[in-house]
Structure 1
Amino acid sequence: MKRAFLLYSLFVATYTFSQNKKDTTAVNHLEEVVLSTVRLPKKKEALPIQVETINLKQIEFQNFQNTADLLSNSGTLVVQKSQQGGGSPTIRGFEASRVLLLVDGIRMNNLIYRSGHLQNVISVDENLLENVTVFYGPTSTLFGSDALGGTINMTTKKAKFISNQVERISGNVLTRYSSVNEEKSSHFELNYAKENWASLTSFSYNDFGDLKMGKRKNHNGNFFGERPFYIENINGVDVLTENSDKFIQKNSGFKQYNLMQKVAYKSQKGFEHGLNFQFSNSTDIPRYDRLTDASSSGLKNAEWYYGPQKRLLGIYSLTKEKVFLNSDLKIDFAYQNVEESRHNRRFENYNLQNRIEKVNMYSISIDLHKEFTKSDLFYGVESYLEDLNSSAFSNNINTGEIKIIDTRYPNGKNNMLRNDLYVSYNTILSKRTNFNIGARAGFTILNSTISDDTFFALPFNDINQKNFTYSGTAGLVHKPSKNIDLKTNISTGFRVPNIDDLAKIFESGGGFVIVPNADLKPEKTITTDLGLVIKSNNKRFQIENTYYFTRFIDAIITDNYLYNGQSTLTYNGSQSQVLANQNKGRAYVTGFSTNIKGYLVSSLQYVANFNYTLGRITSEEEKTPLDHIPPYYGKVGLNYEKNWGKIEAYVLYNGKKPISDYFLNGEDNEQYAPNGGMPAWETYNLKTAFTIIPKATLFVGVENILDTQYRVFASGINAPGRNIYGGLKYDF
């Protein structure tokens, strides 16, 4: 709470200074935030919900290695990692399948997004992004299922037509090296422009070596997470090998490739056609936390890795102004293909298990916007059809013998169909008051079949579900004065159970096995937001406070379960405790956030934010911790910017997460935390960017300057130690 007191003290002092300072001395002003979505008014200040945007200028300056790091270093959300090649954003205590990911407005969440931790966000290259917008709280009314805690919309760069600002041929080349994992990255971008058509080509390559953790003891805790041993396979034999440097997290490196091609064409009749092709691929990505699981022989797993993570997205877009009922029209036809796989082998067991999941997604969305004198009407329809093929086999790495094994999901036909209608209305009630109201209704069908139950006989061979879904939102923005905005909003969210929730069959480790539960119902949330924004007269200072309370209804939680009347069963030759996903009544999540931005003097800006979340499962007997709830966290920093470049110094911090606040045997991963829970930590960081010759920018920085050893809550890998990086960008 000392940090909270410091933030408010800084606010009082600076607000008084900003109010007394004459406007004529103000050189820099806080930028007005403009949103890139077709379903909301463009200006953030007109919205009753909490929204944060990371723009292109910030993305380029921060120069992070991937999109997960970009999000985690914003200080406005937490990102969990089970391996270096991952990153699972948490918004207001909701994570993974309860947070909706969008790329250019198209859902990334599919029918196998799990409730644990996900690494899919890294398949969107940060060098492709124009901006990232984070919507906090239930946004199902705007974007559909899964948006319980919030939505992250990643908007990629556009193909630009020729203009006074855009030349016929333009682009850039970027290269970067980082010491903490010997990262070697490069990026190439080319825009070819004419008056009525344009093309944008973008390609990125990343090579990440084994990640080094901090070597200096965290003053809030003891040394933790060193890697004293790892397993090598030498001449076909597993050998427990001593690590020559225990601070190097052996077997955590990987490589990644990203390609984007866009083409845009404007017809004489006012139609604009767009093609958007994105492809991301990686090498094998080691699941680092599982490689550190201990056993009587030293380490439990000789191999545990995700196979190449492939994501293909193709979008055809059609836009035109004043079409239907004088509304602006945007139609997106999209296809996605996602392939992911899991490969694991126990120490001295030479049969490598391989489980492969292939997902296809077909979608169409129609968005319309009608503008009135003092209001905006947004309405539309969207439909998603998804199918899954799940297969599995084992191969002996020495003899080559191949056997069929049990699949992660049912091995027959698996598909989901979602159809939704939505409407959103925003109006100016008076000079000082804006009003927003919206609703969504839809119907979802899920089918899953088991074609071969040799490995695990169930009393049924198919699972079928049909769910009617709905959500709504209503909010007000009132300005009692030009310096104060008052915001209030109430909204509902929903998440329809998917194949991972309903039909997953897999060993979760530690003598537990998860079995299907066909009786699951959709999860639902109801959230109330209260916001207060205070701004100075000269537009050089702003503080935004948001308080929220979320009631979580029919929450899906993995818990003890009776299968055929029994609490244990034999699985993979071992007697295992039975678990299943279940709707476990009610829970709540509440908290607040404070964000401060302002200028101390001309060109010297500071930012500070503080976030606190509390989550509990409620029952008649007691209240118990809800999982995915991070400790308090935030960021404090100073930015100095001139024509020649920019310098930023900032502190990232997290509070302590005591073991008494963990949801045990769940997704909080207490087995990867020190005794007593995860200690508090902070890192000190310095970044610079400056022009060395016209059109050439040099990026240099030091992250985690003190080389502190720490781990983010619920993560299974230590965070990077001191990282010295350098990058060069040339625009042409």
Structure 2
Amino acid sequence: MRVPLLIIIGAIYSASFCQTPKDSLSSTPLDEVIVSSKKTLNTATNNPVQITTISTVEIEFQNFQNTADALQNSGSLHVQKSQQGGGSPVIRGFEANRILLLVDGVRMNNLIFRAGHLQNVITVDENLLDNIEIFYGPSSTLFGSDALGGAVNMNTKNTPFSDTKNGAINSNIASRYSSANQEKSTYFDLSFSRKKISTLTAFSYNNFGDLRMGKQKNHNGDYFGERPFYVSTNNDGIDYIVANDKPLIQKQSGYEQYNLMQKINYKTSKNYIHGLNFQYSTTSDVPRYDRLTDPSSTTVLKNAEWYYGPQKRLLAIYSLNKSNSILNSDLHFNTAYQKVKESRNTRKFGNLNLEHNLEDVNMFSQALNLHRKFEAGEIFYGIESYYETLNSTAYSENIITGVRSSIATRYPNGNNYMSRNEIYISYNGWNTTKLFWNAGTRIGYTTLKSSIDDNSIFTLPFNTVNQNNFTYSGTVSLTHKTTKNITLKTNLSSGFRAPNIDDLAKVFDSGNGILIVPNTDLKPEKTITADLGIILKSTNRRFETNNTFYYTRMFDAIITDTFTFNNQNTILFNDEESTIYANQNKGKAFVTGFSTQLRFDITKTFRVTNNFNYTFGRIIDSDDSKAPLDHIPPYYGKVGLMYHKNLATLEAYVLYNGKKDIKDYYLNGEDNERYAPEGGMPAWETYNLKTSFIVYKAITLFAGIENILDTQYRVFASGINAPGRNIFGGLKCSF
């Protein structure tokens, strides 16, 4: 099966990725997918917003190595990678700080989320998740700033209360080995529950070795991305080039990760539920693989070291829940604290000075969400408040003597903070069982202040950056079940993203002769999207297809482009002549596309599923000319055949991407054309087979082969080749 055939199939239908392999294949139709968000209708069909849910059973069956892989392999969205320890989701052509990441309803996006590519999603371990919800299109009315293209809500596991006299104790142990990167992963949890109290303790560990790329030539392109050389450093600090005797092994791409979660829930006699939710994740140093492959005309490779320091994420949430509480509404209150530590560490070949840029972010938040049902409708309303601080430091350290010296920080080195305060209201109504409608709005006020204490290293014409923005969004939507077999959906919604400190105040060396400097004149960027959805299903519910068409108009889009700084368009920075760029509101842009989904139960044991996604985006310049918008992936999708009977589940599927022609790249932007072959990124497809078998009621075996043909390929905008043939095996024991 070649890509053209997949296009024909995918353009007509696409797959639901939210089915439960262990259930009867015909028992989980698309319209019964439950949405766990406390701000919207709880079934996917009634909800006019396009939503995909990846369940814990699906995550477990697929044996994803991290949460980014769970999103990528769903076929429901695109994921970019600059290194093995990363993954930047793209929803409808929006990426990084233009989509919103949430954990248990608390936003991860902070004041330094950038417009490029982000690896923060991997700090939420897939083993800890109950489900992943993907909201497509502007979701600012539901969730606030940054949800221009959509939102990814990751809900972690919980332990329900037990009505048994002596309570219940349960435990799970799982392990996995994968051949492509010598992965060794383990997971353990222990839960205890009684009528008034429940606890869950979970821990996981992942060890990923250097990733092996595919060996066989992609029939759509030439051999590409092999690692012929790498840098090694001796005890005297001398760098030298080493020939890689196994060029398919992407040297210096491995890393480790630890994850811990502790939950405690307590129910009072008046049915108030108090909850404590503690999460902690940390990694080893994570090599930035693409930068380690940057060539040099004089030394073969440009960088001797380029790695992210341990990515540390701490989240603590206190929650209070009560049914029929304030104003006869269900009460959901939480207050949360997050701490994120990350760093960039770089050293050029032949240079003894290792430069460290360290960022320490603190986030404080409170949210009061209320929900009340009426006879013919329900209302969601609430207040949310976030306060974020940043401490940015930097220094250069001699790797031999240990002597340190000051260097320019990535962000202003004084006081940095950002606050968001918003209120929202959303009403869902239904006149009959066939007609559902929604209307909602959110308004808020965002404040940002950043100061520079030491302006001597990189002199700027200002010492402070201040911004205050009034923000707003709204949505109106309708779902109409015209017949038993046809459901129509329409949705008009807006989104907003207030500029953060990364947009306004960073000084950033792109590593490609480009220096990004601050621009204090930025305004919030906004989107308006119109969706049209059509769901068709057979009377016997064995067949269903879900199609969504959308058009997004973007206003005051923040684009990185050439800029004049101190009346100059070039500057000497880090001993390199660099062209000056800055973030700017570059008028208008649009993104349009469609996605289709299909589920067809051939028999009670065989199911066909398929996904297809197409996106097209352009910037509209002041003279009405159009240029490519970055972050726009080529068409992509997934075709699968699943078999399930009794204790065994088997799935064969194909993942595919179309070609991204160089004429459709946003050059010198985030599409990373320098990490693509000449002419753009070739199309590719992989063939995969996975299975699980319950050998005993408490023991499940998992096995699979990914990229069976061992095809050599790279995902669009990525800086590292995808895994070659990967054989994995796993074991889960429940007690």
Bin for the TM-score computed over the shorter chain: over 0.9
Partner of 2:606: 604
Matches within 5 A, 1:144-543: 144-163=144-163, 168-235=168-235, 236-296=237-297, 297-543=299-545
Partner of 2:18: none
C-alpha distance in 1, partners of 2:705/2:6? Answer: 23
Q: Per-residue deviation at 1:4?
A: 3.8
Partner of 1:71: 71
Q: Per-residue deviation at 1:165?
A: 13
Contact 2:366 2:385 in 1 (8 A): yes
C-alpha distance in 1, partners of 2:186/2:12? Answer: 43
Partner of 1:559: 561
Matches within 5 A, 1:580-659: 580-619=582-621, 620-659=623-662
CA RMSD after TM alignment: 1.4
Pair 173,29 (structure 1): closer, same or farther in 2 beyond 3 Å: closer
Contact 2:504 2:520 in 1 (8 A): yes
Partner of 1:22: none
Q: Say whether 1:123 aligns with 2:126.
A: no
| Matched AA of 2:662 | I
Query: In structure 2, the residue corresponding to 1:446 is in which secondary structure?
Result: strand
Deviations 1:515-551 (A, max 9, x none): 1100000010000000000011111211001000000
Pair 29,568 (structure 1): closer, same or farther in 2 beyond 3 Å: closer
Q: Per-residue deviation at 1:106?
A: 0.1
Partner of 2:29: 30
C-alpha distance in 2, partners of 1:523/1:341? Answer: 28
C-alpha distance in 1, partners of 2:93/2:379? Answer: 32
Matches within 5 A, 1:701-712: 701-712=704-715
Partner of 2:680: 677
C-alpha distance in 2, partners of 1:26/1:631? Answer: 31
Q: Per-residue deviation at 1:693?
A: 2.2
Unaligned runs of 5+ residues in structure 2 are 15-23
C-alpha distance in 2, partners of 1:10/1:39? Answer: 29
Unaligned runs of 5+ residues in structure 1 are 12-24
Identity %: 60
C-alpha distance in 2, partners of 1:504/1:10? Answer: 44
Contact 2:13 2:612 in 1 (8 A): no
Is 316-325 or 509-518 further displaced after alignment? 509-518
Q: Per-residue deviation at 1:432?
A: 1.8
Deviations 1:100-149 (A, max 9, x none): 00000000000000000000000000000000000000000000000000
| Matched AA of 1:104 | D
Q: Say whether 1:693 aligns with 2:696.
A: yes
Query: In structure 1, the residue corresponding to 2:115 is in which secondary structure?
Result: coil
C-alpha distance in 2, partners of 1:686/1:639? Answer: 10
Pair 41,593 (structure 1): closer, same or farther in 2 beyond 3 Å: same
Contact 1:299 1:347 in 2 (8 A): yes
Query: In structure 2, the residue corresponding to 1:142 is in which secondary structure?
Result: helix
| Matched AA of 2:274 | H
C-alpha distance in 1, partners of 2:91/2:506? Answer: 25
C-alpha distance in 1, partners of 2:12/2:50? Answer: 23
Q: Per-residue deviation at 1:10?
A: 7.6
Partner of 1:17: none
* Alignment TM-score, normalising by the size of structure 1: 0.97
Q: Per-residue deviation at 1:30?
A: 2.1
| Matched AA of 1:283 | S
Deviations 1:666-711 (A, max 9, x none): 0000000000000000000000000122210000000000000000
| Matched AA of 1:225 | G
Contact 2:675 2:719 in 1 (8 A): yes
Aligned length, in residue pairs: 719
| Matched AA of 2:478 | L
Q: Per-residue deviation at 1:45?
A: 1.2
Contact 1:354 1:394 in 2 (8 A): yes
C-alpha distance in 1, partners of 2:675/2:506? Answer: 24
C-alpha distance in 1, partners of 2:578/2:116? Answer: 20
| Matched AA of 1:714 | A
Query: In structure 2, the residue corresponding to 1:290 is in which secondary structure?
Result: helix
Q: Per-residue deviation at 1:164?
A: 6.2
C-alpha distance in 2, partners of 1:179/1:73? Answer: 18
| Matched AA of 1:106 | V
Query: In structure 2, the residue corresponding to 1:46 is in which secondary structure?
Result: coil
Pair 448,43 (structure 1): closer, same or farther in 2 beyond 3 Å: same
C-alpha distance in 1, partners of 2:352/2:549? Answer: 54
Is 327-336 or 422-431 further displaced after alignment? 422-431
| Matched AA of 1:240 | I
C-alpha distance in 2, partners of 1:382/1:321? Answer: 20
Q: Per-residue deviation at 1:334?
A: 0.1
Query: In structure 2, the residue corresponding to 1:141 is in which secondary structure?
Result: helix
Q: Per-residue deviation at 1:182?
A: 0.3
Pair 368,582 (structure 1): closer, same or farther in 2 beyond 3 Å: same
C-alpha distance in 2, partners of 1:245/1:164? Answer: 58
C-alpha distance in 2, partners of 1:153/1:621? Answer: 37
C-alpha distance in 1, partners of 2:12/2:304? Answer: 53
Query: In structure 2, the residue corresponding to 1:68 is in which secondary structure?
Result: helix
Q: Per-residue deviation at 1:511?
A: 2.1
Contact 1:30 1:598 in 2 (8 A): no
C-alpha distance in 2, partners of 1:166/1:723? Answer: 45
C-alpha distance in 2, partners of 1:649/1:47? Answer: 31
Partner of 1:141: 141
C-alpha distance in 2, partners of 1:694/1:165? Answer: 24
Contact 1:28 1:603 in 2 (8 A): no
C-alpha distance in 2, partners of 1:9/1:124? Answer: 34
Contact 1:355 1:393 in 2 (8 A): yes
C-alpha distance in 2, partners of 1:181/1:538? Answer: 45
C-alpha distance in 2, partners of 1:301/1:238? Answer: 10
Deviations 1:599-629 (A, max 9, x none): 0111111110110000000122521000000
| Matched AA of 1:383 | S
2:9 to 6, 11, 33: 6
Is 693-702 or 335-344 further displaced after alignment? 693-702
Q: Per-residue deviation at 1:88?
A: 0.1
| Matched AA of 1:30 | P
C-alpha distance in 2, partners of 1:27/1:571? Answer: 62
C-alpha distance in 2, partners of 1:10/1:146? Answer: 30
Q: Per-residue deviation at 1:575?
A: 3.0
Contact 1:279 1:313 in 2 (8 A): yes
Partner of 1:20: none
Contact 1:26 1:538 in 2 (8 A): no
| Matched AA of 2:278 | F
C-alpha distance in 1, partners of 2:224/2:626? Answer: 31
Partner of 1:716: 719
Contact 1:260 1:277 in 2 (8 A): yes
C-alpha distance in 2, partners of 1:692/1:111? Answer: 49
Deviations 1:56-100 (A, max 9, x none): 111110111100000000001000000000000000000000010
Q: Per-residue deviation at 1:8?
A: 6.3
Contact 1:29 1:540 in 2 (8 A): no
Q: Per-residue deviation at 1:167?
A: 5.7
